Structure formats: C-alpha cells, structure tokens
C-alpha cells in the first residue's frame, strides 16, 4: 500500500512540475519603446546634437566676456643723433589700456548667443524626433518582414502537404500525374519564397540592430503590429508648437538679435589708457593718460545693419513658408492615416476571415476528394494575397501614423534650474 501511495505522490509531483513548466511565462518581446530607448543611448546624431548644445553654452559664456585690457610699453628718443645718441635721452613709458564697449555690444552679443542656444535646443529635439521616426520605420519593416516570413513558412508547409496528398491520390489512381507535378512546382516555389522571406526578415532585423546599436535581443512585438488604434475622427492637429515651426521662429529670433548687434556696432568704442613715463636724462617720472576713439569715416556700420535687416526679412518670409508647408503636410498626413486605418481594418477584418475559412474548407475537401486541385490552388492563392494585403495595409498604417507623429512633434519644455 505504501508503494502505491509513493507512486501516486511521485506522479503528482511530476505533474505539478510539468504544470509549473507549462505556466512559465514566455520571454517578453522587444517592443518599439525598447528599440527607441536603445537608439537614444547610442545614436551618433544625438551625440552630435549634445555637442552642439555644449558648444552653444560655451558660446554664450564667450559672448558675455568683456574685452581684455592691454599692457603697453614703448621707448622714445633712442639711437638717434646728437643729443639723442645712445640711451641718455630715452623716455620709457609703461601703460595700461582698457577698451570700453559702448552701444550695448555685450548685451547684443549675449542676445545672439541666447538665440543660437535656443536654436541648438530645437535642433537637438529635431534630431531626436528624426531618430524616433527612423527607428519606428525600421521596427515596422522588421515586424512586417517577420509576419511575411511566418506566412511564407506556413504556405511552404501547406504546399508540402498538398504535394504529398497529390502523390497519394496519383498512386491510388484517383488523379492524373500532372496533378502531382503541379503540386511539386508549387511546393518548390513556396520553399523558395520562404527562403527569400527569411533573408528579407534577416536584413530588416539587421537594419534595426544597426540603428539601436546592438543586436535585437528577443522576438519583436507582433501583437503591437496587429493593433489598429484611433477609431473614428480625431481632432485636427495644428502647426503651432511643432518642431518645424519652432525652428523657423528660432531663425527669426536669431535674425532679430543680429539686427540689434549690427546696430550696436555702429557706435564706436573708447579705449582709455594710463601709464607712467620715465625720462632718462633727468631721472624723473611722469604720468601719461590717453583716450582713443575710432573715426567711422569709411565704415559707419550702416551696410551691416542693412544686411542684418535683409536677413531678418528672409527669416520672416521663410517662417511663413514653413507654416504653409507644415499645415499642408499635416493635413495630408492626417488623411493618409485615416485612409490607411480604413484599409487596414478592411484587410484584417471579414475579408481575411473569409479567405482563411475558404482555404480551410478547400484543404479538407481536397483531401476527401470533394474538390479538385484547381479549387484548392485558387483558395490558397486568394488567402496568400489577402494576407499579404493585410500586412501591407498594417505596415502602411503604422508608417503613416509615425510620420504624422513626427510632423506634429511638439517642442520639449525647457526646465530652468
């Protein structure tokens, strides 16, 4: 009795262990968010944008610096003739000169540097948004290729089963040898298509790996690819606050700052100097003071101001052009997203279900001798075309939505310490 109880207990333990192994959760898929996070850590484009931010910060520091003073030394009345022969009549002056900027040049330089720093921050956000679009499109392509590979392998398996079934029918005298030959051709073509799909999936996965800077560690999120969000009409997106318009606004702000800097350049600076002079003949010392002011005879700065104003007008005109182009692109992208969503819902809805059911019935009927081979081939071809259309429609919808998100990317909020 004890042996029976022990055997039952061992069987229960084995069953519990097997159940525990069966309930082990599969590895989490490598999602799009994972790919975006990995790409942000290794992207050279973001590294370049970060370097630009550091450079603009240094430029802001440089713009706020005042002109350096000068130490001056000169000797007069030496190595001459008569009383000035030798160094007996030398007059040596050691002085200190300090340039004084007038007209608000320093604040104007700081304004230009601040405007350029703002543009650098927007450029960094643009680089990140562009990277996000590239990674998203590569992820979409990789998932779509994985989906096509699965379908191609399934078709190859079905073609192999059809070929074996045709051989059985031919040997049983229920079909002509041409049916087996036709099935063999379809099997070979299906295996070649599966091999081609496998290579394409490998290339798409390698492309994604290069963008994220490492190998893709797990299976991709196929469930994400099959989801279609955004049913019904959505609010129209505006161009205000987008990165494209923010970049154009930053160009206008920079141009305004350049105009103020050009105006400040029209006011001459003053250089104050002070020093001490020693007269060798009497061994006396005297103070020397001076003021230096440049005369704007040939360049009074008016041409520089005119140039800055023209560049400001150009920046303003470009901003209006960017607004028009952005609004047009957003409207077109919204329409494309809506159309792609409708196509994806239609391709993955009743049409696909009907094609799957028709192919299933045709396979069963062909094995039981109720349908001919041509009926089976027609059902399989319809299913393959419907599945391919569904994958293309899903990929087009994801791509259209990614491009719309890029067009409507908002300017990140700048937090000040």
Domains of the chain, with CATH numbers?
28-294+314-407 (1.20.1600.10)
Examine the pLDDT at 9 and tell me if it is beyond 60: no
DSSP for 85-104 reads STTTT-EEEEEEEEEE--SS
Q: Model confidence at 5, in pLDDT bands (50, 70, 90)?
A: very low
> Are the C-beta atoms of residues 109 and 284 closer than 8 Å to each other?
no
CA 118 to CA 247: how far, in whole Å?
A: 9
Q: Model confidence at 234, in pLDDT bands (50, 70, 90)?
A: low
Q: Which residue has the higher pLDDT, 368 or 157?
A: 157
C-alpha distances in angstroms, 311 versus 104, 111, 176, 317, 386?
Answer: 21, 16, 82, 10, 56
Strand partners of residue 288: 275
Q: What six digits make up the tokens of 55?
A: 């450079």
Decide: residue 98, CB within 10 A, 0-12 exposed, 13-18 middle, 19+ buried. middle
Query: How do residues 343-396 score in pLDDT, each as one tens digit?
Result: 888 888 887 888 888 878 877 876 776 766 677 777 777 888 888 888 999 999
Q: What six digits make up the tokens of 130?
A: 């562009």
Q: Model confidence at 404, in pLDDT bands (50, 70, 90)?
A: very high
| Phi, psi of 374, rounded to the nearest 5 degrees | -65, -35
Q: What is the DSSP letter of 116?
A: H
Query: How do residues 54-72 score in pLDDT, each as one tens digit?
Result: 999 999 999 999 999 999 9
Examine the pLDDT at 303 and tell me if it is beyond 90: yes
Range with the poorest average pLDDT among 114-128, 247-261, 364-378: 364-378
Range with the poorest average pLDDT among 186-200, 215-229, 344-358: 344-358
Sorted by sequence, the CB contacts under 8 Å of residue 35 that are 6+ apart come out as 135, 138, 139, 208, 211, 212, 216
Q: Please give the pLDDT value at position 236.
A: 72
Give mean pLDDT, residues 146-152.
Answer: 90
Q: Model confidence at 315, in pLDDT bands (50, 70, 90)?
A: very high
CA 403 to CA 330: how far, in whole Å?
A: 9
Beta strands in 52-140 (DSSP E): 70-76, 91-100
CA 182 to CA 255: how far, in whole Å?
A: 72
Q: Please give the pLDDT value at position 19.
A: 41
Rg over alpha carbons for the chain, rounded to the nearest Å, is 39
Closest CA to 252 of 55, 119, 351, 382: 119
CA 234 to CA 198: how far, in whole Å?
A: 38
What share of the chain has pLDDT > 70, as a percent? 89
Examine the pLDDT at 263 and tell me if it is beyond 80: yes
Query: How do residues 77-103 score in pLDDT, each as one tens digit?
Result: 887 777 777 777 788 889 999 999 999
Range with the poorest average pLDDT among 123-137, 256-270, 311-325, 357-371: 357-371
CA 250 to CA 247: how far, in whole Å?
A: 5
> Are the C-beta atoms of residues 128 and 46 closer than 8 Å to each other?
yes
Examine the pLDDT at 16 and tell me if it is beyond 70: no
Q: What is the DSSP letter of 30?
A: B
CA 65 to CA 141: how far, in whole Å?
A: 52
Q: Please give the pLDDT value at position 416.
A: 46
What share of the chain has pLDDT > 90, as a percent? 52
Q: Is 273 helix (H, G, I), strand (E, B) or coil?
A: strand
Examine the pLDDT at 132 and tell me if it is beyond 60: yes
Write down the mean pLDDT value for the chain.
85
């Amino acid at each position: 009795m004890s042996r029976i109880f022990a055997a039952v207990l061992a069987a229960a333990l084995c069953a519990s262990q097997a159940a525990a192994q069966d309930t082990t959760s599969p590895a989490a898929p490598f999602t799009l968010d994972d790919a975006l996070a990995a790409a942000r850590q290794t992207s050279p484009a973001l590294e370049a944008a970060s370097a630009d931010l550091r450079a603009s910060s240094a430029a802001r520091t440089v713009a706020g610096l005042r002109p350096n003073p000068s130490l001056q030394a000169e000797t007069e009345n030496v190595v001459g003739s008569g009383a000035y022969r030798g160094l007996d009549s030398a007059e040596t002056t050691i002085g200190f000169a300090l340039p004084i900027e007038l007209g608000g040049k320093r604040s104007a330089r700081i304004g230009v540097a601040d405007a350029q720093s703002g543009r650098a921050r927007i450029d960094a956000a643009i680089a990140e948004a562009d990277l996000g679009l590239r990674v998203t499109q590569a992820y979409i392509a990789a998932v779509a290729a994985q989906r096509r590979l699965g379908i191609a392998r399934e078709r190859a398996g079905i073609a192999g089963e059809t070929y074996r079934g045709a051989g059985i029918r031919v040997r049983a005298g229920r079909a002509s040898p041409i049916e087996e030959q036709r099935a063999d051709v379809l099997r070979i073509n299906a295996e070649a298509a599966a091999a081609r799909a496998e290579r394409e999936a490998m290339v798409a996965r390698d492309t994604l790996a290069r963008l994220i800077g490492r190998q893709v560690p797990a299976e991709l999120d196929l469930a994400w690819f099959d989801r279609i969000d955004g049913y019904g009409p959505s609010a129209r997106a505006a161009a205000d606050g987008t990165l494209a318009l923010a970049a154009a606004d930053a160009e206008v702000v920079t141009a305004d700052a350049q105009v103020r800097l050009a105006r400040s350049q029209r006011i001459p600076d003053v250089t104050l100097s002070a020093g001490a002079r020693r007269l060798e003949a009497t061994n006396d010392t005297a103070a020397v003071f001076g003021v230096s002011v440049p005369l704007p005879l040939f360049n009074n700065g008016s041409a520089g101001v005119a140039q800055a104003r023209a560049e400001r007008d150009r920046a303003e005109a470009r901003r209006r052009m960017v607004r028009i182009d952005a609004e047009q692109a957003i409207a077109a992208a919204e329409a494309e997203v809506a159309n792609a969503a409708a196509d994806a819902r239609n391709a993955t809805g009743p049409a696909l279900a009907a094609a799957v059911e028709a192919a299933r019935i045709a396979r069963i009927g062909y094995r039981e001798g109720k349908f001919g081979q041509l009926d089976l081939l027609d059902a399989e071809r319809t299913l393959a075309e419907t599945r391919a259309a569904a994958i293309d429609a899903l990929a087009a919808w994801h791509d259209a939505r990614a491009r719309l998100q890029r067009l409507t990317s908002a300017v990140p909020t700048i937090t000040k310490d």
